[in-house]
Every structure is written in C-alpha cells, then in structure tokens.
Amino acid sequence: MKILLAMVAGAFLAASAPVVAPTVAGTWSMTVDTPHGAMTASLTLKEDGVSVAGTLTGAGPMPDMDVAGTFENGTLKLEAHPDDHPAMIFTARLQEDGTLSGSLSHGDANMSWTAKRADHKDKP
C-alpha cells in the first residue's frame, strides 16, 4: 500500500511540474555556409508570444539588419530586408542540444546556417 501511495504521489508531482517552453530569445553566435566560405554573425532575438524580432550584426559586408518573424512548434522563421538587396529568409529548427539549424534564402542563393547560444543566461 505504501508503495502504491508513493507511486501515485510521484506521478502527481511529475504531472504538476511546470513545463518550460522552448525559447529562442537571447544572443546567438551564427555561422552561414556561403559560396565564399563560412560567414559568422551575431543574432539577438526577443520573443513576444510567437512573434520574434531582433538584430543581425556582423554579417560580412552587409549592414546590421533588423529581423522579424515567428517561433512556433520549434521552428524559427525570420526575414530581413537589407537596403537595395533581396529579402533574406531564415528558417531553422531548434535542436535537442539547444542549437539552431536551418536554411537561408537570399535572392537566388540558398545556404545552410547554424547557431549556438552566445549567452548562457537565457538558456531555458
């Protein structure tokens, strides 16, 4: 009987434990595999519900850019609109190890990109 009560209590506690939703908020160290080699950048994001906004900085010859999009069901979708250039469309999945991995479309170019958290304080 004591074992049964302990199992029920354990199941109740596990079921009532708060679930921390995954987040992409924070600063990320990003690497884009371009036709000219790897390009590194910093991506800083804030979340408001499913909406995401932030800044992409240090992306080679491109100026710092505002990015905006969504993060839903583990998928990040962002757009940036650099001056006089085609839109940059980023998509990625939040991986089990906490990194981001996805693709970048810019004009006719399609590239892959990855990112890891540059700040550990925002880690879920």
Categorize the per-residue pLDDT at 123 as very low, low, confident or very high, splitting at 50, 70 and 90: very low
Residue range 61-106, pLDDT digits in tens: 777 899 999 999 999 999 998 777 788 999 999 999 999 999 999 8
pLDDT beyond 60 at 4:
no
Q: Is 2 helix (H, G, I), strand (E, B) or coil?
A: helix
CATH number reported for the structural domain that contains residue 99 in this entry = 2.40.128.120
**pTM value?**
0.77
**Is 111 among the domain residues?**
yes
**Is 66 among the domain residues?**
yes
Those residues with Cβ within 8 angstroms of residue 89's Cβ, 6 or more apart along the chain or in another chain: 77, 78, 79, 104, 105, 106
**Is 11 among the domain residues?**
no
**Is 93 among the domain residues?**
yes
DSSP E strands, 9-124 = 26-34, 37-48, 51-57, 65-72, 75-80, 88-94, 100-106, 109-117
Distance CA 16, CA 113 (A): 37
Question: ∠ CA 64-76-120 to the nearest 5 degrees?
Answer: 70
More confident site: 120 or 79? 79
Those residues with Cβ within 8 angstroms of residue 26's Cβ, 6 or more apart along the chain or in another chain: 44, 45, 117, 118, 119, 121, 122, 123
**Is 102 among the domain residues?**
yes
Please state the domain count of the chain.
1
Give mean pLDDT, residues 18-32.
88
Q: Is 56 helix (H, G, I), strand (E, B) or coil?
A: strand
User: Containing domain of residue 57, as a range?
Assistant: 21-117
